[in-house]
Amino acid sequence: MTAILDGPTHLTTDQTFERVHAMARSSADHPALKHPFYELWMSRALDADAVELVAKNYFARVQRTPIRIALAFLHMADVSTRAETVDNLFDEMGHGSAAKVHSVILRGFLETLLSRLRGHGVSLDEVRAPILPSTTRLIEESERLFSSPHPQKVCGALMAQEWHAYPQLVYMYEGVRNYRHLFGLEEFHENCEYFYLHIGATEKEHKVHSLSTAAKSCSSEQDVAQLEEGFTGYLDLLAANWTEIHEAIAAL
């Protein structure tokens, strides 16, 4: 309250970058990433019903990634942060090739995996696994965060998305390796394109861009506090979603 009455507490560019970088790194210890779901996912192959539940809910959220990035673009003011965000969106949309849109590649992988597990062709649109309430909440609430009238909050949510994505994809890929026996060896790696393109380069660049975008959006303690609200808000939604998925698997 005192800070509001006293006006913005100015931070230098170096101070801001340090603060924002530390915030970004802290995602590694957040329950969105330190989560028992990942331990289970990586520890062993799950049965088809459990994989279907994970696939359905994970895809529902990942499919909306370009929407979140586009909302971020609309709700940030600075021209250089907007340019970086367009670069991110261009990646997500397959550099203009529909077949290379990330969600298209992910759908292909998940449907192949489920088809192998079930022994017949599976379409994600037709599986019985439900979209869990926390998945719907994650999609709706995150789109609110990415549309915030406070550009710092938008940039915080974007930084959370991009900084949690790299370790998340490493964990998801390590878990996917539990199903390698369902594929030929080369075939397995061909099918893992979604993971390799993220782990290999894309997400590393998105981390760098989202960090500079976030740092450029802040020049005061108050800005950093807004950034943190968006950052933590998105990570909390992700953590709650993994918790519900984890509990739903245990209840199967």
Residues near Fe ion, by CB under 5 A = 102, 162, 165, 206
Nearer to Fe ion, 52 or 162 (CB): 162
| Least distance from Fe ion to the Cβ atom of residue 186, Å | 24
| Least distance from Fe ion to the Cβ atom of residue 198, Å | 6
Nearer to Fe ion, 61 or 102 (CB): 102
Q: Which tokens belong to 129? A: 């696994």
| Least distance from Fe ion to the Cβ atom of residue 132, Å | 22
| Least distance from Fe ion to the Cβ atom of residue 145, Å | 16
| Least distance from Fe ion to the Cβ atom of residue 49, Å | 27
How many whole angstroms separate alpha carbon 156 and alpha carbon 145? 9
CB 181 within 8 A of CB 225: no
Nearer to Fe ion, 104 or 131 (CB): 104
Nearer to Fe ion, 35 or 206 (CB): 206
Nearer to Fe ion, 68 or 206 (CB): 206
| Least distance from Fe ion to the Cβ atom of residue 102, Å | 4
| Least distance from Fe ion to the Cβ atom of residue 137, Å | 22
Nearer to Fe ion, 101 or 114 (CB): 101
Which residues, in sequence order, are CB contacts of 35 under 8 Å at separation 6+?
239, 242, 243, 246
Nearer to Fe ion, 11 or 214 (CB): 214
